[in-house]
Structure 1
């Protein structure tokens, strides 16, 4: 059974899709939540109450008056969606 032109086009399309996925998958660039004295209570809180409840407390320190977010940062309402906790 010989491959027809449309079969080769399909194979090429699949190769392009996989190539794009490979090209955009790189090393993680998002800063992780450090495991230090300041953030230690939040590690326990995530296990108890979940990420959504815990990230409400991020704004207490990470706000324009204290630790402002870098320029171009997305809106700060789902912090722990992107920022993962450091492994111990």
Structure 2
């Protein structure tokens, strides 16, 4: 009987340690730094679209030699709304 009680206490301590570790990991995560999709008249039509549908149009303005080209060190350009969240 005492053996089961000790096991229960050990499992509770392990559970609390794991929960504490997950909490500390999430607490120390860096803040989000990626800019949100602007909520202006140029981007308004994309707010109501499905993400993948809206991403098809990003290259019309953000490709090389366009209105607002992306920097050369920008990550892959096919999943814009994965990082640039809608407000």
TM-score, normalised relative to structure 2 = 0.67
| Bigger Rg over Cα | 2
Question: How high is the TM-score relative to the length of structure 1?
Answer: 0.66
Q: Which residue of 1 aligns with 2:31?
A: 27
Structure 1 gap segments, 5+ residues each: none
Partners of 1:33 and 1:60 in 2: CA distance = 15
1:78 counterpart = 2:82: no
Instruction: Map 1:1-88; keep pairs closer than 5 Å.
Output: 3=9, 8=13, 10=14, 11-24=16-29, 26-44=30-48, 46=49, 50-66=50-66, 67-86=68-87
Unaligned runs of 5+ in 2: none
How many residue pairs are counted as aligned between the two chains?
79
Q: 1:57 to 1:14 in 2, by over 3 A?
A: same
Report the Cα offset of residue 41 of structure 1. 2.1
Deviation at 1:72, TM superposition (A): 3.9
